[in-house]
Each structure stands twice: as structure tokens, then as C-alpha cells.
Amino acid sequence: MDFLKKISYHPLIIRLVKFLHLRPIFRKLYFYLVKPADGIFRVRIGKINAQFYVSKPEELRSLESDKEGEGRVAELLIPHLKSGDMILEPILVSIPLF
């Protein structure tokens, strides 16, 4: 499945799927093939474990992309936080990749 994940995020594949207007079909297919069997997406950032129930292809893709992008930033910040610390993040528009 790692190969499927890797190619599904490749810019050329994304453009081709969009150009051919196959995005809805490939979203559902990807979700069916890659989603966790129990429907729970698990992620570990630093020492923090989180679980998210995914019921839609968009939810899965969003969590996967956040894990790769924002997750790396969080891994750098978490060791420096103390109890009661707060991080404010600017809210940006999430752009679907697939």
C-alpha cells in the first residue's frame, strides 16, 4: 500500500486524474484500498498518539497530508512544550490533493 500512497501524491498523477475528470472515482478507489480495516486512522506525533475515525475519502487524504506536513512541525515543537503551553496556528485553507 505504500507504493499506492506514494504514486497517489505524485503531481503528475494528480494532474492526469484531474485532466481526465476521474477524481471522484479515484478518490473512492483509493479510500477503499488504503483505509484502515477498522476505519480508525492512527497517528503518532512525537510522544502523542491520536486516533481519528475516517468515513470519507476526503477525511483520509486530509489526515495523511497533515501527518506529512504539519506533523513534522509538531514533532519539532512538542519536546519544547511545558504543561499549560499553547500554540496558535493561523487557519489556512486546506487544498485537496487528489
Q: Tell me the DSSP string of 64-80.
A: HHHHHTHHHHHHHHGGG
Cα separations (Å) of 75 from 10, 47, 71, 84, 85? 24, 8, 6, 18, 15
pLDDT band at 91 (very low <50, low <70, confident <90, very high): low
pLDDT at 97: 45
pLDDT band at 98 (very low <50, low <70, confident <90, very high): very low
Find, among 76, 73, 67, 68, the residue nearest to 90 by Cα. 73
pLDDT at 60: 87
- pLDDT per residue as tens digits for the range 13-50: 999 999 999 999 999 999 999 888 999 988 877 677 88
pLDDT at 90: 60
Sequence-distant (≥ 6) Cβ neighbours of residue 88 within 8 angstroms:
none
- 44 has which bridge partners? 49
Model pTM score: 0.63
